[in-house]
Structure formats: C-alpha cells, structure tokens
Amino acid sequence: MLVALYAAWLSSVAFFAALPQDPPVPATPESTDESVPEVGDSDDLTAKSLGVRFGGVLELRMPAPGQRGPKNDRPATIDLSLDRPVEITGTPAFHSEMPLYGALRLGKGAKTWFALDQSDPESTVYDEIWIDVDQDLDLRSEGSPRRGTGTFVEDRGVWYGEFTNLEFELYYGHGPRERYALSLYIWYPREGLPEQALAVSASWREGTIYIDDTRVRIGVADGDCDGIFLARHCIYAVVEDRPDVDLLKDGVWRPGRVPVRIRERPFKLDFVSAEGGRADLSPASDEELREAEMREDPTLLEPNRPRDETPIPWVETYDGALAQAASTERSVFVLVSAPWSRGSTRFEERTLKDAEVRGILNGLVCVRLDPDRHRELAERFAVDALPLVLVVDAKGRVLDRVAGYRGARSLIDTLLPHRKK
C-alpha cells in the first residue's frame, strides 16, 4: 500500500526544464534513448532506482563585462612552469624574460596551452595571457594577448592577479562547437613567481522548471572547470522565478549530489549532458536532504545560546573605522560579507547575534564591507572566502584573519585577545 502511494505521488510531480520562451511540458519517465549515451554520467543510477527522472533543456548564459560567474568553492588547480613545453611550436615575442606556461584540458579535445606574460618587463605583475584557442600548438595564432589585472596585497605580502571571463569554443564530438568561459586567478609572493593558477567556470546554463504550477529557474555550471558537465562534478542552483530574484546573486550554488528542497520536496541533480544543454533532476530522500543540510549548515550542530538582537554600530567606511580606532585606541573588527552568500547571512543572523559575541564587539570598532561594492579593499585583503573576518589595528595592519563560517565559540576565541577592556 505504501509503495503504491509513493509511486502515485512521484507520478504526480510535473517538472520540466526548458528555454524561457517554451511553455511548460508535463514530466515524462526516464528516457531510454541510446543514441547519445556518452553525454551524461554513466554511473547516475539514482533515477533508475527511484523509477522516475524529470528533465529538459538549458540555455547557455555568458557573463556580462565585469560580471563574475557562479560561486564555486572548488576551483581547478593548474600547475605553472618556466619551461617551454616541447609540444608548443610557436611563441610570441614576450615582454618578460620569464613567461609561465600552463595547460587546460577542456571538453573532449586536446590540451589548450597558455602562457602568462608581463606587459611591463620592469614589473613583476603577470597581466597578459596568450592562449592557444585553436589548439594548433602555436600561441601566436590569436594575434594578441588578453589582458588581466594585477595588484600587490600589502597586508599579505603577495601579488594577486586575475584574468576574468576567458572565452573558448569547445567541441563535444557531436553538434556545433559550444561557447565556454572561465576565469584564472594567481597569487605569488613579492619576490617569487606564481607556481599555480586557479580556474573557475564563468559561464553557466539556465532554464525554467515547473513543479506543479510553480515556475522556478535552474542554473547548472561546470564545477571542476574541465569543460565537461557531469552531475557529480557540477554545481547548481534553483530560485523562484520572480523579476527581483537574480540566479547568480540570490541562488545558492551547491554540488550536484547535494539535494535541494523545492516545494517542500527534496530533489537533486541527477544527470547533465556533456555540453550542459540538458539536465535532469530526480527525487531525493528526506534522509539525504537532512544529511546534506547538516554538512552545509554547521549551525544545526551548535547549542542554543543567549542572543542579543541590538543592532551593531557599524561605521560607514573603512577609513572612518581606522580613524575611530586611532582615537579610541581600539582594534577594528572588519566583516567582509555579501547578501548572496549563504555563509555570510548565517554568520550575521546566528554568530553575530550571540550575546557573548556582542559583548566582545562592544570593545571593538566594527565595519562591514561588501566585496562587490568595495573591490579595492576586497583585492587588498585577498578575499577568497565569505564571510571573512579581519582584526586590524588603527594603521590597517592585519592582526587576525578567519575565513568562512565560524560559530560563536570559535569567533570568541579569535576576538577576545583584541578587545579593549
């Protein structure tokens, strides 16, 4: 009886991902089409075990100028070397005497080689990148380098550089070439050279799904930045389809195997075609969702503690906070957070409203920074995770640094030595 009821519930779910202009289409059971078996995860058996799979088509989205792609906490690491690879047959006239070489393996093609160069040979900033986009092993083919940005982060003593929204065209063995974008980031010491670069996917796929009569948007991005979309390596997000909701900013991007609650029902990303043009979700169990929520939200394991809802007296500007710290002989509590970061909102709603934490903050000057609006400060502090807590003195020297969500007890241990008594 229970099995029959469960099957009836599953069959009643109407779910379809489609291009925005397409009308909703009723969900259908898992496809048995064997013509394109190579485009998805051969080990995705969850849908078969549940007996149902819902899916549809997703449309490519490319970042606008200055826009970052989906939030991904698992970038791909690329080794850099001064040694010119033997495969490369041609190189441009580099400005620097020490260009750095690396390789990306994107899609189902060969390696895509690139070289980092310095536009000013007198500088130590690597701000140019030559890419063998057509994979002919000649870095001169593109004609000119793409420019990035570089800055020295005084507080950490490192150079930071980024090359955002680098575009490629990938071939997956069938159909036309697909556009794909990624960003590269490098860090290296004042007197050293970059040894590695971090690659983060900047493009994503987006479509509309229908659950019962509710329309929501789903986004899928290549989580490991190899140009191939596999459910177990992707990140995805779902948001309610409202004009004021932005998928990139408001969506919580999570690994494909981590369930999400939609209309009070747990689902998880089950299948994505290699180029990302089709995605399927399958129902997940309540137990899977609960385990995922416990892993993602450490607050669920924290004990209940007394709270203080009194607003924190945030100083409006960073410079103003330093001036106030100098006049009061206090240290500065700097919080770098963003409204689209789940960790940030949890931190502010739970940790910062802990009564003991609030008592300690009363002995500090407090300032809050948004990395999207305070780009210069975000680069200076080399923000690589949110939320980010810094304790600085009146001259802006960093005394302590904690990245990522922290519970009350952990934050108290960090702040207590810096509180003015």
pLDDT of 113-130, one tens digit each? 999 999 988 888 899 999
Q: Backbone dihedral region of 321: left (phi > 0), alpha (psi from -120 to 50 degrees) or beta? A: alpha
Higher model confidence: residue 390 or residue 41?
Answer: 390
Q: For residue 149, what are the β-bridge partners?
A: 162
159 domain-assigned? yes
Least confident segment among 46-50, 133-137, 268-272, 356-360: 46-50
Instruction: Check whether residue 117 and residue 183 sit in a common domain.
Output: yes
The CATH number of whichever domain residue 360 belongs to comes to: 3.40.30.10
Token pair for 114: 């690139």
Instruction: Check whether residue 261 and residue 242 sit in a common domain.
Output: yes
129 domain-assigned? yes
249 domain-assigned? yes
Most confident of 261-270, 288-297, 326-335: 326-335
**Eight-class DSSP state of 239:** E
Instruction: Check whether residue 52 and residue 91 sit in a common domain.
Output: no
The residue among 266, 296, 326 that closes a domain is: 296
- C-beta separation of 158 from 43 below 8 A: no
Cα separation, 240 vs 214, in Å, equals 8
Render pLDDT for 325-334 as a digit per residue (tens, 0 to 9): 999 999 999 9
219 domain-assigned? yes
- Structural domain boundaries, residue 338: 318-418
Percent over 90 (pLDDT), the chain:
34
pTM confidence score: 0.60
